[in-house]
Amino acid sequence: MNFEPFTHLTFDCYGTLIDWETGILAAILPVLAGRGIAAEATQLLQHYVRYEAAQEAAPYQRYRNVLQNVMADIAAELGFTPTAAELQALPNSVGHWPPFADTVASLVRLQTRYKLVIVSNIDEVMFAETRKLLQVEFDDVITAEQVESYKPAPTHFHVALQRLGVLPQYVLHVAQSLYHDHMPAKALGLTTVWVQRPSRLPGTGLALPAAATPDLVVPDLQSLAAMMGL
């Protein structure tokens, strides 16, 4: 790939920069353990994918509410009614979901050449906590709360192009999810890099299946930075 034309890198956050599988399991498994429920991690994440997609396809609600409802749906699937505190386990955990080991150093390297932008299915307050963990100052952040929409709807990308004031050919979108990111980004003419992070749900990660053809596939962010000569 010729990286020379690009001036902006847009990033999905959760799943690409942040290891949300680890964070989600760390939030839900203790709730289940407290109720004496043994749950297999892969199956639990499959429940998460199904219920989150359903919540995000409904009329817009803040991501905190999405996660509360996902927790309620998982509890119903496993046969219990969650307490108010248990319903908060997922949304309260987001600020503790860890970056992947290569994320921060790679962002620092990439920022020496490109403007960095977040396009994420998240609330403002939640991302403020994540932002501290990422340790870089982004040039812009487009959240679901701002656009009142969830990817794979294209609104994040329309707003990003409008706000950044650049044509699609100058933007490289970097993301793990084919469903949430590559499908809508490619439809708008963006070049995309698929970061194939390790996942308990190979091929899709925490997302529904989707048909999309990224322009480049890398195993992690540091590999992308190295390919760019950074």
3 in a structural domain: no
- 10 Å Cβ neighbour count for 165? 8
Contacts for 135 with CB less than 8 Å, ≥ 6 apart = 104, 107, 108
1 in a structural domain: no
Is 183 found in the same domain as 111? yes
Is the Cα dihedral 141, 44, 204, 223 positive or negative? positive
CA 111/CA 109 separation, integer angstroms: 5
Is 143 found in the same domain as 200? yes
Closest CA to 119 of 88, 85, 154, 91: 154
Is 24 found in the same domain as 13? no
Query: What pLDDT is recorded for position 81?
Result: 96
How many CA atoms lie within 13 Å of 68's alpha carbon, on the beta-carbon side? 10
pLDDT per residue as tens digits for the range 7-59:
999 999 999 999 999 999 999 999 999 999 999 999 999 999 999 999 999 99
CA 107/CA 146 separation, integer angstroms: 23
CA 98/CA 166 separation, integer angstroms: 31
Query: How many distinct structural domains can be found in the chain?
Result: 2
Q: Which of 12, 19, 123, 220 is catalytic?
A: 12
Query: What pLDDT is recorded for position 41?
Result: 96
110 in a structural domain: yes
Query: What pLDDT is recorded for position 112?
Result: 98
Query: What pLDDT is recorded for position 196?
Result: 97
Closest CA to 207 of 182, 174, 180: 180
Regions of the chain short of the pLDDT cut 70: none
DSSP 8-state symbol, 12: -
User: What is the value of pTM for the model shown?
Assistant: 0.96
12 is catalytic: yes
Is 188 found in the same domain as 86? no
Contacts for 1 with CB less than 8 Å, ≥ 6 apart = 191, 215, 216, 227
CA 207/CA 205 separation, integer angstroms: 6
Q: What is the CATH number of the domain that holds 219?
A: 3.40.50.1000
Q: What is the CATH number of the domain that holds 54?
A: 1.10.150.750
Contacts for 169 with CB less than 8 Å, ≥ 6 apart = 5, 189, 191
CA 51/CA 44 separation, integer angstroms: 11
Cis peptide upstream of residue 152 (ω within 30 degrees of 0): yes
What range defines the domain where residue 64 resides?
Answer: 20-95
